[in-house]
Structure 1
Amino acid sequence: METQMQNEIEDLSLAAPTMNSTENLAFTTQTCLRNKSSETDMGEEISSTRLDRTLPIFLKFSGVQFKVKIHNPSSVNPVKAVVSKSSFRLKIEQDRYKHILKGITGSVGPGEILALMGPSGSGKTTLLKILGGRLHENVKGTVTYNDILYNPALKRRIGFVTQDDVLFPQLTVKETLTFAAFLRLPSTMSQRQKYQRVAMIVKQLGLERCLGTKIGDVFVKGISGGERKRTSIGHEILVDPSLLLLDEPTSGLDSTSATKLLQILQGLVKAGRTVIITIHQPSSRMFHMFDKVLLISEGYPIYYGKGRDSMQYFSSLTFTPEIAMNPAEFLLDLATGQVNDIKVPNELFASQGSQEYEKLVIRYLQLKYKVLLEPKEMEEIHRIPKAPERLQLAIQVKKDWTLTWCEQFKIIFKRTFKERWRDYFDHLRLLQAFGVAFLLGLLWWKSNTATEAQLRDQIGLLFYICIFWTSSSIFGAVYVFPFEKIYLVKERKADMYRLSVYYACSTLCDMLAHTLYPTCFMSILYFMAGFKKTVECFFFTLSAILLIAVTSQGAGELFGAAVMSIKRAGTVASLVLMLFLLTGGYYVQHIPKFMRWLKYVSFMYYGFRLLLKVQYSGDQLYDCESRGGCQRLQSSPSFDTVNLDGGLQEIWILLGMALAYRFFAYICLRSKVDAYHI
């Protein structure tokens, strides 16, 4: 049965022609089903690959409502409440909901651009997220795709371009699109075909000039705003999404760049895509490029229909501009109730000058929409022919992963290393590692264990080494997931790769740095400081340091994944590090019984004990010049709580901690990413 379903889907040739009316849906889909044979002779062209061609999706939404839970603390002054005779009557205001969307209805089909317009805070972006399947909680109403409710199979058929371009700043435009192509395009395509696909998108979006330029951010100089936006769009259309949603794609662009971007989108819809954008205030030229416009004010719709018919509709309500005005500016003035240069109906004329005048205008428009436009739109939705069963089937069958776990790992590992290598080999980081090693080597030059004081000094150096690499590894790992949260959430929403692949690549790439620097550090310090000059002891000591660093890295990842906040992650890491430092076994050896449990959860405690056991042996003699003669190291007060010949069970404890930290870090990361919305 499953094979038959897959075969039916593969038989769909989905290069839908441009549609400008809802009645053409049935014809469009039938035409799509007949066109497969005409596309088999395209040779090396990209469209001849196994890449799913654009599947026409007709989107309907009816009575969409959305509310968020807010908490309004009592506005009563607590000092006055205490002295007031009626203070006992005060009550804490309960949590309540704020309604963002209050019943939105509409539809859009293949070959059409729907523009969601309205003032800031009107609910445009919220509606876009709901239509893209990114918001589900506290949503009422129905949203269907080819008459089917949202399901996970639609994830990879929907492209979502956020208002803030979520792109890795250290990668070039070419690297960004190439990595996306290798991750998202099917494995049945050859490398050459994937490169051709990238080249085609680059040419289509006019990105040839900036291919080798970094994306950049506030700290890294990169491409222009228009080029960033086009790169974001290219990232999404690589896999021919059926439904493309863009949140404020023209934000921050000049009029020429914004118009060019809309022209690109017009070219995309001709391939049968359904495009929905939110836009604040387009130019008059851009406004006439929209097939449909949905104007929202305070969560209510006040106009829905063809863009070119909007002026005529409001003129029929006696809302006409008294001066030359951009249609988009005219609509936004109405949506905010600011009608200073607009003629208004007689019903509202008498209320001019009142404080509630703007709200009266908005309510009037909302009422007229309810009476005049909403019934027509509901009737139109019900008159739209039902999507063919094969198209419904196509959007219900979830695609398998385009690549295996190992193939995804190779691509993500390479991308992660390219993105982070500058941090790994930062000049300050190199200077810190080598500089501290030389400084400590000079301070502890040729140290020995001839006396109790000298032994104590050398043990202090070992504890400092433990602190240094513990803190370095924790703070090097704790910020990784909070910093990359927005990239991870975006790519996970698009089902680009498995979360386990990302986590494995992230921790292994970082582990390279967390092991490279301690190795160089100990290679310099070990022989300068006068530790045991044997190859075996050197490698045992180095292995212990690396194990401490790797365990600390896992702890840092756990703290970062648990809070997913840059500010809070640093605070949590500092508190835990201080706690582990105090219970590490150097400052306080004999901890009170009721606090003793703390040291057993401290990896610094086990790491420090391991270093002592590796570097010293209980039978080793010291303090030979004292009155009592030579003594065994085990008799030193420094080793009261450490059995130097008691085995190296700390290795297994640290390994267990390193694995446990990473396991719980992965669990926290999965729960946080799945719950986060962008």
Structure 2
Amino acid sequence: MGPSGSGKTTLLNALAGRLHKNLSGTISFNGLSFSSSLKRRMGFVTQDDVMFPMLTVRESLLFAALLRLPNSMTRIQKIQRADTVLKELGLERCKNTIIGGTFVRGVSGGERKRTSIGYEILVDPSLLYLDEPTSGLDSTTALRILKVLQKNAQVGRGIVATIHQPSSRMFHMFDKLILLSEGYAIFAGYAKDAMDYFSSLSLTPQIAMNPADFLLDLATGTTSDITIPPDLENLITQMDLIPPPYFQRDLVHKYMRRKYMTRLAPEERRAMCEMGNVSKELKDAIKAKQDWASSWWTQFLILFKRTFNERRVDYFSSLKILQAIGVAVLLGLLWWRSKTQTNADIQDQLGLIFYICIFWATFSMWTTLMTFPLERQYLAKERAADMYRLSAYYMSSTVCDCLAELVFPTIFLLILYFMASLRASVGAFFLTLLATFLIGITGQGFGEMFGAATLSLKTAGIIASMFLLVFLLAGGYYVQKMPAFMKWVKYLSFVYYGFRLLQKIQYSPDQIFNCDTTGGCESIANARALQGLPLDSGVQEAWVLVLMAVGYRLISYLCLRRI
């Protein structure tokens, strides 16, 4: 316990193995050095309830159980374990309600906190850390949360919690207390002995006070309505002038630290040294090599289903459907029954083809650009608990996004293709659809790369937009003849290869145009609008897009791995 900024969360993160920078010293548990095997026997509930907002309470616990519980348990047993925890925490009434978030209405704050606790006690940890579990809750809900924790402690589980300012009723529920002040301990021992200890230092309240309020006043150096010992009072009055309040607080802090180091710290150290060693069986179990709770393929399938459940509203939002239909209808009306009889007709049709390319490149990029920045906190929490392999998470996210990408281009082209009278061939239609899929999937990888590299929505949006603008300009429609020193840019542009691929699908050397002239019909390959474009199969462009799609995603994964 301690005031804000006293070091409670920092200490908890250090003990839980979540603080790696600016940390010195050693951490051991019953004489065993901290290790990843030990870490998996711990649970950690953060102050902010980090859970996917679109999953229901039961889905959240169920997916956690399937991912975290060991292979020795069957799927049915894991589901039963999730339902048991649901009942223990009194969450049956809201089990089918989504968690919710800032912009989505869901369960109440107390129910969300209990779900967070259930997320951790599913695996029956030996030690459970909680960072301010009552923060932001009303007194009744906070008391209910602590009763749940007390019940867990009574069955032999160690519960370590930070708390800011508990009521007197909640304060007496805790067994032991560490009181922190500006990063230093000023009391450590049984909570019921705290008042007696400070009374022995002649620090006593002058009015009836909640013990927690009294202790927090001492931790902040506030001595109003508190009797102070003569030796501390002498230090203050020895000054020639009345010291400023911050100087007086500093004297109080130093006094209590000194007393703690001389009176309590030696006893605490002695008690820890006399603590019984952990049993040989438990020590061997902890030191044994710990495998993942489930195989890579199992993790992938579970994460794939969870990802789809979480993102399904976004994947099939009415706004996106209206966008695909609306743009398709608008383009179909603008290019209504377009022709290829003259060079000007072909040039107009190329404008439509290029717009199809840039629309799906941009649409797909923005769809995935936000994925990793928005899911950063969930990924950090679950990876810290060793719930799954990073590769399984990344592949499930990517495959889910790619499959969702198949829906909207299909709707889009079914409307536009025939309105604009593009090449009248079943093969050409399906090849155009496949090429659009490929452009979209490459655009997704492009967006993922910047999202994973920065994990910042604002930064990723700015950088990706700049690169995409350059790629669009070098895509082969706006600039036909580029200076020699700038030609390399187009070879980096996936828009360039996508545009060429779509052109090669729409036009072939056996097509004729310009039949109304005196010279007679010509092969469309001779059209000035297509000058410099060999109308071959387009396999080369397709392979380049495939390699780019894979390359972007490989870079994305390496960025996530590094972070």
Give the TM-score, by structure 1 length.
0.80
Distance 1:511 1:379 in 2: 60
- 2:507 corresponds in structure 1 to 616
- 2:214 corresponds in structure 1 to 330
User: Identity over the aligned pairs, expressed in percent?
Assistant: 56
Question: Would you say 1:473 and 2:364 are equivalent positions?
Answer: yes
Classify the secondary structure of the residue corresponding to 1:611: helix
> How far has the Cα of 1:525 moved from its partner?
0.5
CA contact (8 A) 1:296 1:302 kept: yes
- 1:217 corresponds in structure 2 to 101
Query: 2:380 pairs with 489, 492, 497, which one?
Result: 489
Distance 1:497 1:195 in 2: 18
Classify the secondary structure of the residue corresponding to 2:130: strand
Query: 1:227 pairs with 111, 122, 132, which one?
Result: 111
CA contact (8 A) 1:447 1:530 kept: yes
CA contact (8 A) 1:146 1:392 kept: no
More helix by share: 2
CA contact (8 A) 1:475 1:573 kept: no
Question: Would you say 1:300 and 2:184 are equivalent positions?
Answer: yes
The unaligned stretches of length 5 or more in structure 2 are none
Give the TM-score, by structure 2 length.
0.96
Distance 1:547 1:374 in 2: 66
- 1:201 corresponds in structure 2 to 85
Distance 1:642 1:648 in 2: 14
Query: 2:5 pairs with 108, 116, 121, which one?
Result: 121
Question: Would you say 1:276 and 2:165 are equivalent positions?
Answer: no
Classify the secondary structure of the residue corresponding to 1:294: strand
> How far has the Cα of 1:234 moved from its partner?
0.5
CA contact (8 A) 2:130 2:160 kept: yes
How many residues are paired up? 556
CA contact (8 A) 1:154 1:398 kept: no
Distance 1:386 1:123 in 2: 29
Distance 1:398 1:213 in 2: 39
Cα-to-partner distance string for 1:112-143 (whole Å, 9 max, x where unaligned): xxxxx111111110110111111123211221
- 1:134 corresponds in structure 2 to 18
Query: 2:346 pairs with 455, 465, 476, which one?
Result: 455
> How far has the Cα of 1:619 moved from its partner?
4.3
Query: 2:142 pairs with 258, 262, 271, which one?
Result: 258
Amino acid at match of 1:376: E
- 1:633 corresponds in structure 2 to 524
After the TM superposition, which of the residue ranges 586-595 and 612-621 deviates more from structure 2?
Answer: 612-621
Question: Would you say 1:520 and 2:411 are equivalent positions?
Answer: yes
Amino acid at match of 1:280: H
> How far has the Cα of 1:267 moved from its partner?
1.1
Distance 1:185 1:258 in 2: 28
Query: 1:564 pairs with 424, 430, 455, which one?
Result: 455
After the TM superposition, which of the residue ranges 470-479 and 291-300 deviates more from structure 2?
Answer: 291-300
Amino acid at match of 1:375: P
Distance 1:358 1:213 in 2: 49
CA contact (8 A) 1:123 1:299 kept: yes
> How far has the Cα of 1:556 moved from its partner?
0.9
- 2:36 corresponds in structure 1 to 152
Distance 2:532 2:217 in 1: 77
Distance 2:213 2:388 in 1: 42
Distance 1:363 1:623 in 2: 95
Classify the secondary structure of the residue corresponding to 2:141: helix
Question: Would you say 1:354 and 2:248 are equivalent positions?
Answer: no
> How far has the Cα of 1:539 moved from its partner?
0.9
Distance 2:89 2:510 in 1: 74
Classify the secondary structure of the residue corresponding to 2:539: coil
Distance 2:92 2:536 in 1: 67
> How far has the Cα of 1:646 moved from its partner?
6.6
- 2:330 corresponds in structure 1 to 439
- 1:49 corresponds in structure 2 to none
- 2:127 corresponds in structure 1 to 243
The unaligned stretches of length 5 or more in structure 1 are 1-116, 673-678
- 1:342 corresponds in structure 2 to 226
> How far has the Cα of 1:194 moved from its partner?
2.2
Cα-to-partner distance string for 1:363-403 (whole Å, 9 max, x where unaligned): 11111111111122122222223223332222222322222
- 1:70 corresponds in structure 2 to none
Distance 2:76 2:549 in 1: 41
Question: Would you say 1:315 and 2:199 are equivalent positions?
Answer: yes
- 2:273 corresponds in structure 1 to 382
Distance 1:441 1:247 in 2: 57
After the TM superposition, which of the residue ranges 641-650 and 506-515 deviates more from structure 2?
Answer: 641-650
> How far has the Cα of 1:593 moved from its partner?
1.6
Query: 2:50 pairs with 150, 158, 166, which one?
Result: 166
CA contact (8 A) 2:501 2:538 kept: no
Distance 2:108 2:341 in 1: 66
CA contact (8 A) 1:515 1:550 kept: no
Aligned-CA RMSD value: 1.4
Distance 2:227 2:561 in 1: 55
Classify the secondary structure of the residue corresponding to 1:364: helix
> How far has the Cα of 1:629 moved from its partner?
4.1
